[in-house]
Amino acid sequence: MGATYGLASLMMALIPPQIRGLRLPDFAWVPAFAGPILLAAVTVSSHASGSGLLATTADWVHLLAAAVWIGGLASLLVIMRGVGPPERARLASRLVPRVSRVAGISLGVLIVTGFYSTWLNFSTLGAFVSTAYGRTLLLKLLLVVPLTALGAFSHFVLRPRIAATTAASRSALLRQLVQVVTGEVGLGAAVPLAVAVLTITPPARVSLPAVPQPRLILAGLADDIRVRLTITPALPGWNRLEVVATEERTGDRPRGAPVPAADEVGRGLRSQAHLGRPPGRGTLGRLDVTTAFPLRLGEQPARAADSAAVALLNQAGQEMTGVGTWRQVEQITDGAGNVVVTRYELSRPHRVRFQTAEGIEGVIIGAERHRRSDSGPWQQDVLPQPFSAFGPELYMIGADLVVLGRQARCSTEMCQVVLWEAPVRSAALTGWIGLVTRRVHELLMVRPHTL
């Protein structure tokens, strides 16, 4: 739009005077009126026009100040070059102080409006180098800095020298002044080129690199299959679920090779799903191999404890207290794709045998511990405190907000899912309790910063 108005103005200035017999009135006020209007046409086609009235006005004032500054210097240069040395000295004494004063005011306006525009278009300082808009603006500033330096040299150095010298020795200083003004006009003419590029470049606030979305990566092992479930953005609402299954150890396949059947599972789960429900259980399978993930995102709606759920949880706690020996498998995943799997054989009151997926195994009896790595020699040490064997009943002490979930098939019987909160909401737990035996078959727990 600005180019259209500019071309129209140029045609109106050049064509009518060439028409024979056409007498044009002398409207001295037209240039002073048409200039700001033309600059307003440029402003309404700029990025500032989409940011409100204040931003549009600031951009127009910025352009007006630049036009007055550079236009005044160009006019001064044309006048100084068009007269001889005697007349140049007389005109310089009258025009240079005025042009210098106007240039100083224009520079102040440019600084204020420029800072406002920068604050409006840049959300971070890094956008100056990470976006095309920021780099172009830096180029513009690199042109403005020497332009300002030349103006300061002219105002603070040449002007006092010219005023302090006699007319006979003023000629050399006036030639130097013309050279300095020529440099200012040359740099000032280059600035609009950078402005033109800024006009067609998306602002930094809309062209910043996309901020990486937060992800939650849960990992689990089922026999020799490692499964990673990636949830993006891991916030209440719509999330993208992606499953990757790899085989850890097998005779014919290398460690970490993708599992074809598990890939089918992954493709089936690469979809949109709505999260934000209470902790639950999801299974991912390859043939008869399954693994489960705890999942709890966002705040849950307020709920009251269910008396039937409380009774079932108390019964499960009493039943598990009476169990003298049991086996359990513990999987801990940190939300970044790492998982630690440990298998335990426990016997009350103070015996445990454990083995991790990394090949570390050990036996603890009271305070005496024996352990080894990768079938190496056994090493013995003494714990600071004797070991005590506790089962799932430990996590049921002080249970709060206990509610029933769905029913699901466990290994040997149907189970009732029960959900509860640990004291002071330090953890959220989900247990699978047998409907016949009242024993806990599986327990999932989510703790702050730990899954």
The residues spanned by each domain of the chain are 46-207, 216-293, 302-324+391-451
Q: Which pLDDT score, from 0 to 100, does residue 249 have?
A: 55
For residues 151 and 73, what is the distance between their CA atoms, to the nearest angstrom? 10
**114 and 62 Cβ atoms separated by less than 8 Å:** yes
Helix (H), strand (E) at residue 419: strand 414-421
Hey, which residues does 283 pair with through a beta bridge?
292
| Integer Cα distance of 13 and 22 in angstroms | 13
The residues, any chain, with a CB within 8 Å of residue 420's CB and separated by 6 or more, are: 309, 313, 396, 399, 400, 401, 402, 403, 428, 429, 431
pLDDT for 39 equals 73
pLDDT at site 306: 87
* Residue 301 tokens, joined: 């709606």
d(CA 255, CA 28): 87
pLDDT at 289: 40
C-alpha 137/C-alpha 101 separation (Å) is 26
Q: pTM (2 decimals)?
A: 0.46
pLDDT at position 109: 92
Instruction: Give kind and range of the element (H or E) at residue 371.
Output: strand 368-373
Instruction: Give the Cα separation of 311 and 441 in Å (integer).
Output: 17
Q: What is the pLDDT along the chain (451 residues), one digit of tens a residue?
A: 444 545 555 555 556 666 666 666 665 556 666 667 777 777 777 777 777 888 888 888 888 888 888 888 888 888 888 887 778 778 887 888 888 888 889 989 989 998 888 888 887 777 888 888 888 888 888 888 998 898 888 888 888 887 777 766 677 888 888 888 888 888 888 887 887 788 778 776 666 565 666 788 888 877 777 888 888 877 777 777 888 888 765 444 444 444 444 333 333 333 333 333 333 333 333 333 444 444 455 555 556 678 999 999 999 999 999 999 999 888 888 888 888 889 999 999 999 999 998 889 999 999 999 999 988 899 999 999 999 998 889 889 889 889 999 999 998 999 999 999 887 667 888 999 999 999 999 988 887 654 4
* Token pair 């080894």 in the structure block, residue: 372
C-alpha 369: how far from its chain's center? Answer: 48
Q: State the Cα–Cα distance between residues 8 and 14, nearest whole angstrom.
A: 10
CA distance 133 to 140: 11
**Between 170-199 and 53-81, two packed helices, what is the crossing angle to 10 degrees?**
150
Residue closest to 215 by CA, chosen among 229, 225, 200? 229
- Give the model's pLDDT for residue 300: 54
The CA distances from residue 137 to 108, 355, 361, in Å, are 18, 61, 63
